């Protein structure tokens, strides 16, 4: 289910040959129906019925007309159609594709995020089992960055090699949300705007990623509000990085951001908090779109309408064998 192209036999090419008196054939139809939260369409193709060969050098068209055929057609390598995820693809590593996956979770740990982090803790072992089942050459690596108005890259960017250790830290940070404190202590969190950008920058710049040419690099970003755009001071905390710098750091490291964010937030629960996540920010593309990722509705995860583990594993499958293509 990971291959992104399908070889169509050269016999389809012969079906496109028409006699001089025939009307041109209609092109193959294509329909797209992208799944919710996915950045790439699934496509289906249609084609006219294949021609038949009635003898050396001749081809019989579907309407009964016999035309000369070109011997060179029999050696044509074929036509490729991008069909998205192909059902029943073999498991295991595909030659020429990535041999490892690194996932860094960049999590808002302010007071409103406890329920989401608890779901993430409950499902991280399911995510890990699915990644192990891909049978890549190397085991998955995980990382964790947390933020309120300040930000911290846990373990200094050294990867977690065991999902159980990551799960234990998820549980710890879920409990931390009740404190209403900054990650590094010092003062209470009295604002709704949080420091996503420094968290994302730390993940991109300081996590110990494996080589980009052989590794799927993914950030799973979770927040229910908007962000400070640095350099500035937010709630008494120095915000170090701005929107453009953060996007550039993610693109330089070939990191895809898959974000779980909200539509409405703020202290009044009435403010549009989509800019930068699912809508443009000050004329710049949303971070998931700019980094070849996708965005999901955090409310649907909390309501049980979207499986968090399915969404994360789908992000990996979507990225596998797919060249990194940043935008903007």
- Model confidence at 4: pLDDT above 60: no
For residue 55 the two structure tokens come to 């003898």
Which domains can be identified in the chain, with CATH numbers? Answer: 6-81 (no CATH), 100-319 (3.40.50.410)
What mean pLDDT comes out for the span 67-80?
40
CA 67 to chain centre: 48
Q: On the CB side of 105, how many CA atoms lie within 13 Å of its CA?
A: 25
Q: What's the mean pLDDT when you consider all of the chain?
A: 81
Rounded to a whole number of angstroms, the distance between the first and last alpha carbons of the chain is: 29
The whole-angstrom separation of Cα 296 and Cα 319 is 16
Q: Is the pTM of this model over 0.75?
A: no
Whole-Å CA distances, 267 to 163, 189, 273: 35, 13, 12
Give the pLDDT confidence of 77-114 residue by residue, as tens digits.
333 333 334 333 345 557 679 999 999 999 999 999 99
Half-sphere exposure in the Cβ direction for 66 (13 Å, CA): 6
Residues 193 and 148 sit within 8 Å (Cβ to Cβ): no
DSSP letter assigned to residue 150: S
Please indicate whether residue 6 or residue 214 has the higher confidence score (pLDDT): 214
Give per-residue pLDDT as tens, 145-199. Answer: 999 999 999 999 999 999 999 999 999 999 999 999 999 988 899 999 999 999 9
The DSSP H or E segment spanning 290 is helix 287-290
Residue 273 has pLDDT above 90, yes or no: yes
Please report the pLDDT score of residue 187 as a whole number. 87
Question: Which residue spans within 71-224 are E strands per DSSP?
Answer: 79-81, 100-108, 141-147, 151-153, 215-222
Q: Phi/psi class of residue 37: alpha, beta or left (left: φ > 0; alpha: ψ in -120 to 50)?
A: left
Alpha-carbon distance of 312 to 303, in angstroms, equals 17
Distance, CA of 47 to CA of 325 (rounded, Å):
30
Higher pLDDT, 160 or 7: 160
Q: Alpha-carbon distance 106 to 319, whole Å? A: 18
314-325: per-residue pLDDT in tens?
999 999 999 999
Closest CA to 139 of 93, 207, 71, 193: 93
pLDDT at position 24 is: 41
How confident is the model over 291-309, as pLDDT tens digits? 999 999 999 999 999 999 9
Closest CA to 176 of 198, 154, 156: 154
């Amino acid at each position: 289910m990971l291959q992104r192209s399908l070889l169509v036999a050269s016999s389809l090419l012969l079906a496109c040959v028409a006699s001089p008196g025939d009307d041109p054939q209609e092109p193959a139809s294509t329909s797209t129906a992208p799944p919710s939260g996915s950045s790439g369409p699934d496509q289906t193709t249609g084609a006219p019925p294949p021609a038949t060969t009635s003898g050396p050098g001749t081809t019989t068209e579907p309407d009964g007309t016999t035309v000369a055929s070109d011997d060179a057609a029999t050696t044509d390598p074929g036509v490729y159609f991008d069909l998205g995820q192909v059902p029943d693809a073999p498991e295991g590593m595909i030659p020429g594709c990535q041999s490892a996956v690194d996932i860094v979770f960049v999590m808002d740990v302010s007071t409103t995020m406890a329920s989401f982090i608890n779901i993430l803790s409950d499902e991280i072992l399911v995510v890990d089992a699915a990644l192990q089942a891909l049978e890549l050459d190397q085991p998955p690596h995980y990382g964790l960055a947390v933020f309120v108005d300040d930000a911290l890259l846990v373990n200094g960017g050294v990867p977690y090699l065991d999902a159980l250790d990551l799960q234990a830290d998820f549980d710890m940070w879920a409990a931390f949300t009740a404190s209403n404190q900054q990650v590094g202590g010092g003062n209470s969190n009295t604002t709704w705007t949080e420091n996503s950008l420094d968290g994302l920058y730390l993940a991109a710049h300081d996590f110990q990623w494996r080589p980009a040419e052989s590794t799927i690099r993914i950030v799973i970003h979770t927040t229910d509000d908007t962000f400070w755009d640095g350099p500035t001071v937010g709630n008494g905390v120095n915000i170090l990085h701005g929107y453009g710098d953060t996007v550039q750091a993610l693109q330089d490291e070939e990191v895809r951001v898959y974000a779980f964010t909200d539509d409405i937030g703020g202290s009044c629960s009435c403010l549009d908090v989509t800019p930068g996540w699912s809508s443009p920010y000050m004329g710049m593309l949303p971070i998931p779109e700019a980094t070849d990722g996708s965005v999901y509705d955090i409310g649907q995860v909390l309501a049980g309408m979207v499986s968090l583990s399915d969404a994360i594993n789908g992000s990996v499958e979507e990225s596998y064998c797919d060249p990194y293509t940043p935008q903007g």
